[in-house]
Amino acid sequence: MSSKSPRAQTLTLSARALLADNLVRLRAERGLSQEALALEAGLHRTFVAHVERQARNISLDNIEKLAVALNTPVAALLATQDGKSAGSA
């Protein structure tokens, strides 16, 4: 029986999944609702919900809007928990 290590599982996450996980985590850390984050970012609440559920492909412009609204670097939205960005080995 083979079990992937946490590191191996992190490396298999898509950029979309990393973004969704980080967006949910950072939004919760800041005590923001989806609606409050969307308002701050100039986006619609349902768009934020779709991104968090990985149901929407998001543009770099909108990633940047979310990062600014969360007061975090864009790279933090695409980083693994160990701080590496998606796709880095």
Residue 18 lies in a domain: yes
Residue 5 lies in a domain: no
Domain hosting residue 29, numbered range: 13-75
> Contact, 86 vs 18, CB < 8 A?
yes
Nearest Cα residue to 48 out of 74, 24, 72, 68: 24
> Contact, 77 vs 66, CB < 8 A?
yes
Mutual angle of helices 60-70 and 15-29, in 10-degree steps? 20
User: Residue type at 38?
Assistant: A
Residue 19 lies in a domain: yes
Q: What pLDDT, in 10s, does the model give residues 22-79? A: 999 999 999 999 999 999 999 999 999 999 999 999 999 999 999 999 999 999 999 9
Domains in the chain: how many in total? 1
Q: What pLDDT, in 10s, does the model give residues 70-89? A: 999 999 999 998 756 555 54
User: What is residue 1's predicted lDDT score, i.e. its pLDDT?
Assistant: 47
Residue 63 lies in a domain: yes
**CATH number for 65:** 1.10.260.40
